[in-house]
Homo-oligomer: A and B are copies of this chain.
Amino acid sequence: MNQKINNLTLKMLAKQLGLSVSTISKAIRDSHEISDTTKKRVNELVQKLNYIPNPYASSLGSRNSKTIGVVIPEVVDSFFAKAINGIESIAQENGYHVLIYLTHESIEKEKQILKDFESGRVDGVLLSVSRETCSHSHINILMNKGVPLVFFDRVVDEVKASKVVTNDYESAYKATELLIKNGCKQILFLSFLNTLAISNKRLNGYKNALLDNRLAFIEKNILTFQNDSKKDYLLLKKKLNLTKRADGVIASVEKLALPVYQACEELRLNIPGDVQVIGFSNLDTAAFLNPPLTTITQPAFEIGKTAAALLVKALGRKKIELANEEIIIPSTLVLRRSTSL
C-alpha cells in the first residue's frame, strides 16, 4: 500500500560482494564467526550504500523487537514527564525504542493496551497503573505470557514483579509531622478517588503521624476528589471556611495543590498564616508560587531511569528473569513558605 522506496536488502548486498546473505547478516551484527576482512568489506559497502536493516524483519527472525512499552496515566504531569526522561535516557543508551501509551486513568484502556502487548510488540513493559486499577488479572496474564514487566511509582502490591517506588509512607508521615510541629490542629488530606497502593501508603503516613502526635484522625478530613468535579472543590472551600477551620492541607497529588491555593485566594485566607500547605509535587514552579509551595518531591527521573535499567538489564540476559525486587528511592521534603517557619 505504501509506495516505499525500494530499500536495500541483505540479499542485494550479498550479491554485490559475492557473499551469502547470512554472512552479511552476521558481519553487520559483528559476529565473532566472521573474519575481520570481510567485516570490513561489508561495513564499507553498508556505509557507502547507506544500508539500514528492516527492524520488523529482524524482529520476526530474532523474536525480539528492541522496543519497550511505557504505560502511564498521563504525560501532562511533571512526575511522569520526568520519569519518561529517565526511561528514555536508558532506552537510548541501550538501543531500545520507546512506545508510549496513556491510559488517562482508565482501567479499560490499560487492559486494552496490555492485551495488545501479548502480540510481542514490545520486549518488555514499564507500567504505572491507572487510578481505576483495582483488579490486576490483566497484568498477571501479560506476565504469564512471558512478557517482562517492571512497575514504577504506581505499583500493585498484589502482583509479584520488580518495582521501583519512593517512600510514600514516610514522606506523608514527615509532611504531616511538619504541619503538626508547626501548630496545625486540623489537617486535611486531599487525594483522588482510587484504590492505589501509593495513595494508601500516603494516607497511612498521614494517619499514623496524627496518632503518634495525639491528634485525632478524623475521617471527614480526608477529601477524596472525583475527576475535576466542582463539588469537591466546593467541599474543600467549605472545610477551609468553617468556624473550626482546617489550618493545614496535604495535597497528596500534584494536581490538587492548585485548588488549595485557589480556594485560599477566594476566601482571602493567608498561606501560611491561616492555612499551611504541603504538596506532593515535582512542579518546577513550586518555588515561585504565591507563596512558594513546600513539597514532597519525588525522584521522578531516577525512578524512571532505574525502572528502565532494571528492565533493560533483564532483557539483555539469555534467560530473562526479574528478581521481583522492590527498589525504594526516597523523596525529599523541600521546605518553602507555604508552611510557616
> Can you name the residue of chain B whose Cβ is closest to the Cβ of A265?
B288
Q: Does any Cβ of B come within 8 Å of A341's Cβ?
A: no
Each complex incorporates copies of this chain amounting to 2
- In the complex, how many angstroms separate the beta carbon of A99 from the nearest chain B beta carbon? 6
What is the CB-to-nearest-CB distance from A20 to chain B, in angstroms, rounded to a whole number?
A: 21
What's the minimum C-beta distance from A67 to chain B, rounded to whole angstroms? 7
| Contact status A98-B97, CB under 8 Å | no
Closest residue to A76 on the B side, CB-wise?
B81
* Contact sample, A vs B, 23 pairs, CB 8 Å cutoff: A1-B62, A1-B63, A1-B318, A2-B64, A2-B320, A3-B146, A7-B119, A56-B59, A56-B121, A74-B85, A75-B81, A75-B84, A81-B81, A85-B102, A88-B102, A92-B102, A98-B99, A258-B284, A261-B288, A283-B285, A285-B285, A285-B289, A289-B289
A154 near B: Cβ within 8 Å? Answer: no
Q: Which of B60, B78, B118 contacts A57 (CB 8 A)?
A: B60
Residue A100 interfacial (CB < 8 Å): yes
Asked if A76 and B82 sit within 8 Å, CB to CB, the answer is yes
Taking the closest CB of chain B, its distance from the CB of A299, in whole angstroms, is 14
Contact partners of A57 in chain B: CB under 8 A: 60
CA distance A54 to B92 in the complex (A): 25
Distance (whole angstroms) from the CB of A341 to the closest CB of chain B: 17
B residues in contact with A82, CB < 8 Å? 76
Is residue A242 within 8 Å, beta carbon to beta carbon, of the partner chain? no
CA distance A98 to B50 in the complex (A): 26
Q: A4-B145, A56-B59 are in contact. List 12 more A-B contacts (CB 8 A).
A: A1-B318, A3-B319, A7-B118, A54-B120, A67-B99, A74-B85, A77-B81, A85-B102, A98-B99, A99-B99, A258-B285, A288-B290
A55 interface hit (Cβ, 8 Å): yes
Q: Is the CB of B100 within 8 A of A88?
A: yes
Give the total of A residues in contact with B, Cβ under 8 Å.
61
- CB-CB < 8 A to A59: which residues of B? 56
Once bound together, how far apart are the Cα atoms of A62 and B2, in whole Å? 8
Residue contact A2 to B116, C-beta cutoff 8 Å: no
CA distance A116 to B118 in the complex (A): 25
Q: Report B-chain residues with C-beta under 8 Å of the C-beta of A183.
A: none
Q: Are B318 and A56 in contact (CB under 8 A)?
A: no
- With an 8 A cutoff between CB atoms, is A262 at the interface? yes
Q: Indicate if the CB atoms of A85 and B81 lie closer than 8 Å.
A: no
In the complex, which of the residues A102, A118, A123, A288 has the most CB atoms of chain B within 10 Å of its own CB atom? A288
A3 and B320 within 8 A (CB): yes
CB-based nearest B residue for A120: B54
Do the beta carbons of A76 and B67 come within 8 Å of each other?
Answer: no
Q: How far is the CB of A317 from chain B (nearest CB, A)?
A: 9
